[in-house]
Chain A
Amino acid sequence: AAGVIQSPRHLIKEKRETATLKCYPIPRHDTVYWYQQGPGQDPQFLISFYEKMQSDKGSIPDRFSAQQFSDYHSELNMSSLELGDSALYFCASSSREALNNEQFFGPGTRLTVL
């Protein structure tokens, strides 16, 4: 079965640079979520989109922005990167039509800020 696709899988950036992470949800899923997971930490919810509109907002820094496109893929844009942004970034997708709206997670993008 098709899963959530994230790209790139690994990314290395310098401080103050920008980064763009991409997420391709499971086909026919209409909702995407972004999570940040620091080393040894639990995933922290950043933001979610349903039908291309922002749905819920968590602890996303003002330096970050995200959007969902007409083909339902999503991009997380990160600017003025800081050392503390080094983390695993997960995208998850779900379908409103599903009974429990289960969130399926992608493999993650490991961002390292030097």
Chain B
Amino acid sequence: GESVGLHLPTLSVQEGDNSIINCAYSNSASDYFIWYKQESGKGPQFIIDIRSNMDKRQGQRVTVLLNKTVKHLSLQIAATQPGDSAVYFCAENIRRGGADGLTFGKGTHLIIQP
């Protein structure tokens, strides 16, 4: 079936540098995309979301970019900090506001080196 996936399983960056985590999705019907952060032993934590009618959305130190033409999603984290070390998942939903389950992509383990 259609799914969401990530290109890289592990990403290592120096503290203070910017990081980019990528995600490819295949369900063109998806309307809503979310990035989650999961620390060891904890549940996924919402970072930022974007609807399909947008190309870019910015939060505090994070930016999500959506390219519908190539079905690609990315998460940019600026000035990475040790607390950013975690596994990051992209997830998609057919529609925003429903009670539908999320389809998660494969996680990327972000490692921040001192």
Closest A residue by C-beta to B101: A45
**CB closest residue in chain A, given B98:** A101
Distance in Å: Cβ of A10 to nearest Cβ of chain B: 11
Are A106 and B100 in contact, CB atoms less than 8 angstroms apart? no
Please, which residues of chain B bring their CB within 8 A of the CB of A102?
A: 34, 46, 49
10 tightest A-B contacts by CB? A45-B101, A105-B43, A55-B99, A42-B104, A50-B99, A31-B99, A56-B100, A101-B97, A58-B101, A105-B44
**Nearest Cβ on chain B to A64's Cβ, whole angstroms:** 14
Given contacts A42-B106, A42-B107, contact A101 B96 (CB under 8 A): yes
**B102 in contact (CB, < 8 A):** yes
Please list 8 pairs of residues, one from A and one from B, whose beta carbons are closer than 8 Å in the complex, sorted by A's number: A33-B101, A35-B102, A42-B106, A43-B102, A55-B100, A56-B98, A101-B99, A105-B45
Which residue numbers of B lie inside 8 Å of A, CB to CB?
32, 34, 36, 41-46, 49, 89, 96-107
Contact A100 B96 (CB under 8 A): yes
Please give, as numbers and ranges, the residues of chain A lying within 8 Å of B46 by CB-CB distance: 102-104
Chain A contacts of B45 at CB under 8 A? 105
A108 within 8 A of B: yes
Q: Do B89 and A42 touch across chains, with their CB atoms under 8 A apart?
A: yes
Q: Which of A49, A56, A96 contacts B97 (CB 8 A)?
A: A96
CB distance from A17 to the nearest CB of B (A): 24
> Are A106 and B43 in contact (CB-based, < 8 A)?
yes
Which residues, 91 to 114 on A, are CB-close (under 8 Å) to B? 92, 94, 96, 100-108
| B3 CB to nearest A CB, Å | 9
**B44 in complex: contacting residue of A43, A46, A55, A58, CB < 8 Å:** A43
With both chains docked as a complex, state the minimum distance between the C-beta of B53 and any C-beta of chain A, in angstroms. Answer: 13
The residue in B41, B49, B105 that gathers the most chain A C-beta atoms within 10 A of its C-beta is B41
Contacts A35-B102, A102-B46 known; 13 new A-B pairs at CB < 8 A:
A43-B102, A46-B101, A48-B101, A49-B99, A56-B98, A100-B32, A101-B96, A101-B98, A102-B34, A106-B43, A107-B41, A107-B42, A108-B42
